[in-house]
Structure 1
Amino acid sequence: MTTALPEAFTAEEVMAALRIGRSTLYDLLRSKELPSFTIGRSRRFDAADVAAYMRKRKMIEENA
């Protein structure tokens, strides 16, 4: 049995995955480096956007 990744993450899940704090996450939101969307009053992050951000950061670090 395979377990599929969720298609949307909560802010807490993104913070845990990226190992960052709340203020850093909201800095990423303000700078539009990491897009999000809302469902009611809840903010969600598309799994593909989180993965793309991680790939982008990895490429930056490798080229530094």
Structure 2
Amino acid sequence: MTAGTQLLTVPQVMERLQLGRTTVYDLIRTRQLASITLGRARRIPTPALADFIHTRLEQDAA
């Protein structure tokens, strides 16, 4: 991670993707969306969210 990388909470990712909590956790569980755990808190680095979106766009374009 770079110094400018932000760590997003699951609710923040839910809002950005307009998806439900279960769906976001399913994406994390299936490793489609990378995340880290800090104590009991789950965080998603902003580059991981950008990579997920980019990958989905490529899949949809194919």
Answer yes or no: same fold by TM over 0.5.
yes
2:16 maps to 17
What is the letter of the counterpart of residue 57 of structure 2? K
Q: Which runs of 5+ in 2 are unaligned?
A: none
Q: Superposed, which structure 2 residues align to 1:48-59 within 5 Å?
A: 48-59=47-58
Q: TM-score, normalised by structure 1?
A: 0.82
Q: Which runs of 4+ in 1 moved over 2 A?
A: none
What is the aligned residue count?
59
Deviations 1:24-64 (A, max 9, x none): 1111111111111112211100100000000000111112x
In terms of Rg, which structure is larger? 1
Pairwise CA RMSD of aligned residues? 1.4
Q: Which runs of 5+ in 1 are unaligned?
A: none
Tell me if structure 1 keeps the 8 A contact 2:5–2:47. no
Q: TM-score, normalised by structure 2?
A: 0.85
Percent identical across equivalent pairs? 34
